[in-house]
Amino acid sequence: MTGNRNTPRTLVVRRMPFTFDDDISVQWNAARPEWSYMVNGASLTMPYLEPFLIRTMKKALPQFQDPALIQEVKDYIGQEAQHYQQHRKFNDIIKAKGYDQIEALEKQMLDEFSYLEKNKSLKFNLAYAAGFESMALTLGHWLINQRAYLFGGSDSRVASLILWHFVEEIEHKCAAFDAYQAAYGQYWYRLYGTFFAAIHIMKFSRRGYIIMMKKDGAWGSIRSRINVIKYNLRFLTGIAPKLLHSMLPSHHPTDIDDPQWSKEWLKVHKRHDAELAHLDTNNLMTPIGTRFS
């Protein structure tokens, strides 16, 4: 969703018909098990991160005067609520596999986000939200551009969840940024929020996948550890150009054009939401709009 920086942006709150069954494997991409663990670790953070973002944006709403921004923020809140609810369902399947230490990690996440909410200023928490969304925008581009490599041949239920989530991260790329700019607009503080949020959420994601890999005996494998490093390097080099752009003083999310595949996904959803909940992971490079026309 690109265009003039002042153009009102209409977001859609989608209730996707995902199915998460007990037979979903922790290594849902058998060809890339370490990548599976890393995505699982990131998913564990969503039911704690996204409610924090929602509460932050709700607290900021009274500061806004522009009706279009107010509506955009409300729709952003609706999308984020759907995200963490769907991730919680998936996470419950993963946790049921016997990863007892995840409970302690979840408590730590709950405690830290509660601390930020109670002890940090609204300015800080809104900068965190804007910073996280800048990272999520760049991550969404990377996931979509690399979708065949990262999700090819994997469990459709998980791949569809992740790609839906980040199509919507790209769609609502302006909400938290515009909210922070309207309320505060201080450049260096926004930059601080970006660095803090990125390090904070990656810390928890890493702890999550290490818990799972240790229990399954994968963390002790040199090959697995090397693969984790490779995926991290691929991720960091993939997101770096757009993330650096987001740190420029003149940056606005509309400066970064959306991937064609995400644009097609949004169009297809109007007619085929059930199919988008079960993507053909053996055919991810085919333009999505041609399959459901």
Start-to-end Cα distance in the chain: 21
- 228-241 mean pLDDT: 96
State the pLDDT confidence band at 271, using cuts at 50, 70 and 90.
confident
**Residue pLDDT, tens place only, 89-138:** 999 999 999 999 999 999 999 999 999 999 999 999 999 999 999 999 99
Check if the beta carbon of residue 85 is closer than 8 Å to that of residue 15: no
Q: Over 60: is that where the pLDDT of 4 sits?
A: no
How large is the average pLDDT for residues 213-238?
Answer: 97
pLDDT value at residue 10: 83
pLDDT at 37: 98
CA distances from 104 to 95, 107, 109 (A): 12, 5, 9
Residue 293 has pLDDT above 50, yes or no: no
Q: Average of pLDDT values for 52-68?
A: 96
For the cut 70, the answer to whether the pLDDT of residue 289 exceeds it is: no
Predicted confidence (pLDDT) at residue 3 exceeds the cutoff of 90:
no
CB atoms < 10 A from the CB of 128, how many?
28
Q: What one-character-per-residue DSSP string does 10-62 give?
A: ------------TT--TT-STT-HHHHHHHHHHHHHHHHHHHHHHHHHHHHGG
Given pLDDT bands bounded at 50, 70 and 90, which one contains residue 7?
A: low
Distance CA 124, CA 15 (A): 31
Confidence of residue 292 (pLDDT cuts 50, 70, 90): low
pLDDT band per the 50, 70, 90 thresholds, residue 53: very high
- When pLDDT is cut at 50, 70 and 90, the band that residue 285 belongs to is confident
